[in-house]
Structure 1
Amino acid sequence: MACRGCCCCGFGLLNEDNARFLMLALLIILYLLCGAAVFSALEQPKEKQAKERWMHRFEHFSQKHNLSRKELENFLRFYEEANVAGIRVDATRPRWDFTGALYFVATVVSTIGFGMTTPTTMGGKIFLIFYGLIGCAATILFFNLFLERLITLLAVVLKSCYEHQRRRKAILPHGGQHSHGATSGPEAQGDSLAGWKPSVYYVMLILCLAAVLVSCCASAMYSAVEDWSYFDSLYFCFVAFSTIGFGDMVSGQRQVYEYQAAYCLGNFLFILAGVCCIYSLFNVISIVIKQVLNWILRWLVPPRCGHTCHPGVGLGPRRNAVGPHRTYPRHNISIETDAVNDSEEMDGRRMSGEMISMRDFLAANKVNLAIMQKQLSETANGHPRQSGSCSRHNGFSEGVGALAIMNNRLAETSVDR
């Protein structure tokens, strides 16, 4: 009986990357709808109460001072214009002196963008476009480099703890006596830990604890200096560290502080450390979300459909992926087979939640380098690569080099379709 378009076969028409992308898009839309419903239920009653209270005060003030509604509205519009320029009822520090401008550019390049200070001149707006383009790109590069070094440091620490735990188990086994027959020593330790990688879940837990610690310490400082409640300080820390930057609460806006120099330094260091920790945590959480999406796709699309489907339909494992009971014979070992097995090990480690080293990444690309060398040699000698029993002479296989390889891939794709 032929398949009549079941759900799993519908997903099977996509490859794994496209199916994951589609699933993530659907989940994000559902997440947005749920968030909108929750915030609407929580915040809309307070908004209505504030609007009714404001209208009552507006009418009371206009009647008390014998002002027409239009005159009072015009005066409030003038105050809104002054508010945009940085004029407040309470005394605040200057917005566009050197320190104020330094605080502004820091919020620009960090992508926080509180919004309490914005350029109003045409020259300032044009300069901000080019300044932010380069500054934001450089800051994102800095965050990525920071994440690499942070994960390297965590990997060294976790590996040291793992080595210490293995030594303790080797010296004191479950019986409480030293095992003389067991192989020990630096050689055995090095062989057993050669391919060890820290779990992404341990890295996520450590980054989460670091972000919580930085946020708690920063909240204690803000609640003491800014006279905010501790919960409001935690809220500000998350909004600032995650670079959301609503601008409803902004630190360091008073004109005078008791220990102003020390507070400015502490504010800068806490925001820098918090942004780095939260940015790193977001990247690691994205890896976990990708693993959850893989699990959902394997749950939605079983390995075998109950109907009679066309061959090749279904979300099977990715190329070189490692299954739970999948073995690979290693006959005729060459650079290509060795690279394939290395790529399989790397993909299996990625699916198990472990970090990937640069050595594994380079090993996984050996096969690509070998295929490129083979295609370059065949193209240069005038022997284009055959596919099946007939060659593909369709105008795509001309040329030598990386462009020829890309054209051959395009030709294969167009003919296969």
Structure 2
Amino acid sequence: MTTPRTTPGKVALIMYGFIGCAGGFLFFNLFLERIITFLAYILRYIHERDLRRKGLMSNGGERRGSQGSDDDNLDSWKPSVYWVMLILFLGAVVIACCASAMYQPMEGWTYFESIYFCFVAFSTIGFGDYVVSQRADYENAYLYRFGNFLFLVVGCSCIYSLFNVTSIVIKQLLNWMIGKLDCQCQQRRPKHIQQRRNAITPGHTRGKATGSGNGRRTANDADSTYDSDSSRRGSSEMISMRGFLQGNKISLAMMQKQLYETAQRSAHGASRDRGGLEGGVGPLAILNRKLGEDDA
């Protein structure tokens, strides 16, 4: 394993590691934006095909009559975060299995040890108990190291995307558990005692602002909308593009806005793509908004 041993080498590591890690996060966020948008297009296509099969939408993309609920309207279509998480999980598993098939004969590991290494490496845990390319000689060494590079890049990107989506599901589970505990506590309190809201879920106490006569909530109430509705969402219920990634108030709120706008542009046949730096995801989008570079 190559590590810096001298003081100048360690100083150089700090300098290029700072910029390199920042560039790595930038790459992961751009990958996350593209892969989530791509999966949203696929799920949208499946939804449209299901509507055509049920006779609720014509081949031109227009709904027939007033059949179906508001959820069948493509403008308010709601992809499931659970389907996205499942697809990313299956993709990460496929990549890990393919990489393990390469590591097993080249490194002399068992298949389980190769799977274990893939998870530790893709998730950037990096224990160091299993390290590739440490022997002096390999058969087709350059081809093997190039394949190792590709598997690590793609695997880390998929796991990063999967972790971001999984964090939303974890927060929904925690909100559901907090809601259940809060309900049980309220049922046990005497009626003459004033009930107080749990400080962990302050979103329930916020007011519900409305738009100009159409009953829509403003963007400033997105967080309170998520908190107040999370206890009513079941495991099979759909989550809107606008509410898809608003669970994390900091790193994931901007991603949801970008994905929702992308789906809206797709529904109206828009072909303009602003690119990753202008329509960033997560921390990148927050920086663009704070610095005034996002003119959306």
Which of residues 201, 206, 219 is equivalent to 2:87?
206
What is residue 137 of structure 2 aligned with on the other side?
Answer: 256
Query: Contact conserved, 2:31 with 2:157, CA < 8 A, in 1?
Result: yes
Query: Contact conserved, 1:214 with 1:274, CA < 8 A, in 2?
Result: yes
Amino acid at match of 2:128: G
1:193 Cα deviation from its structure 2 partner: 0.9
What is residue 347 of structure 1 aligned with on the other side?
Answer: 225
Amino acid at match of 1:333: G
Which structure dedicates a bigger proportion of its chain to helix? 1
Query: Contact conserved, 1:219 with 1:233, CA < 8 A, in 2?
Result: yes
Q: Indicate the percent of aligned positions where both proteins have the same amino acid.
A: 48
1:313 Cα deviation from its structure 2 partner: 3.9
CA distance in 1, matches of 2:26, 2:151: 20
CA distance in 2, matches of 1:282, 1:166: 31
Amino acid at match of 1:186: G
What is residue 103 of structure 2 aligned with on the other side?
Answer: 222
What is residue 186 of structure 1 aligned with on the other side?
Answer: 61
Query: Contact conserved, 1:207 with 1:281, CA < 8 A, in 2?
Result: yes
Listed one character per residue, the Cα deviations across residues 335-375 of structure 1 (whole Å, up to 9, x for unaligned) are xx75538946993598346225427989xxxxxxxxxxxxx
1:135 Cα deviation from its structure 2 partner: 1.2
What is residue 124 of structure 2 aligned with on the other side?
Answer: 243
What is residue 164 of structure 1 aligned with on the other side?
Answer: 49
Listed one character per residue, the Cα deviations across residues 43-84 of structure 1 (whole Å, up to 9, x for unaligned) are xxxxxxxxxxxxxxxxxxxxxxxxxxxxxxxxxxxxxxxxxx
Query: Contact conserved, 1:154 with 1:203, CA < 8 A, in 2?
Result: yes
CA shift in 2, pair 1:149/1:269, >3 Å = same
Query: Contact conserved, 2:210 with 2:217, CA < 8 A, in 1?
Result: no
CA distance in 2, matches of 1:282, 1:273: 14
CA distance in 2, matches of 1:125, 1:183: 63
Please tell me whether residue 134 in structure 1 is matched to residue 19 in structure 2: yes
What is residue 97 of structure 1 aligned with on the other side?
Answer: none
Q: Which moved more, 1:190-199 or 1:349-358?
A: 349-358
CA distance in 1, matches of 2:8, 2:219: 58
Amino acid at match of 2:61: P
CA distance in 2, matches of 1:255, 1:183: 63
1:199 Cα deviation from its structure 2 partner: 0.8
CA distance in 2, matches of 1:193, 1:210: 27
Please tell me whether residue 319 in structure 1 is matched to residue 235 in structure 2: no
1:259 Cα deviation from its structure 2 partner: 0.7
CA distance in 1, matches of 2:220, 2:131: 50
Which of residues 23, 35, 43 is equivalent to 1:150?
35
Query: Contact conserved, 1:208 with 1:281, CA < 8 A, in 2?
Result: yes
What is residue 165 of structure 2 aligned with on the other side?
Answer: 284
1:246 Cα deviation from its structure 2 partner: 1.0
| Paired residue total | 227
Listed one character per residue, the Cα deviations across residues 151-207 of structure 1 (whole Å, up to 9, x for unaligned) are 00000001001110111111xxxxxxxxxxx77452227981111132110011001
CA shift in 2, pair 1:192/1:342, >3 Å = farther
1:255 Cα deviation from its structure 2 partner: 1.8
1:148 Cα deviation from its structure 2 partner: 1.1
CA distance in 2, matches of 1:152, 1:186: 20
Select the structure of larger CA radius of gyration.
1
Query: Contact conserved, 2:37 with 2:259, CA < 8 A, in 1?
Result: no
Please tell me whether residue 296 in structure 1 is matched to residue 195 in structure 2: no
Query: Contact conserved, 1:155 with 1:197, CA < 8 A, in 2?
Result: no
Amino acid at match of 1:283: N
CA distance in 2, matches of 1:141, 1:280: 13
Amino acid at match of 2:137: V
SS at match of 1:302: helix
SS at match of 1:166: helix
Instruction: State the TM-score, normalizing by the size of structure 2.
Output: 0.67
CA distance in 2, matches of 1:269, 1:149: 18
Listed one character per residue, the Cα deviations across residues 68-102 of structure 1 (whole Å, up to 9, x for unaligned) are xxxxxxxxxxxxxxxxxxxxxxxxxxxxxxxxxxx
CA shift in 2, pair 1:196/1:233, >3 Å = same
Please tell me whether residue 333 in structure 1 is matched to residue 213 in structure 2: yes
1:310 Cα deviation from its structure 2 partner: 4.1
CA shift in 2, pair 1:275/1:194, >3 Å = same
1:142 Cα deviation from its structure 2 partner: 1.2
What is residue 3 of structure 2 aligned with on the other side?
Answer: 118
SS at match of 1:278: helix
Listed one character per residue, the Cα deviations across residues 14-35 of structure 1 (whole Å, up to 9, x for unaligned) are xxxxxxxxxxxxxxxxxxxxxx
Amino acid at match of 1:319: R
CA RMSD, 1 decimal: 3.2
What is residue 67 of structure 2 aligned with on the other side?
Answer: none
CA distance in 2, matches of 1:346, 1:166: 32
Instruction: State the TM-score, normalizing by the size of structure 1.
Output: 0.49
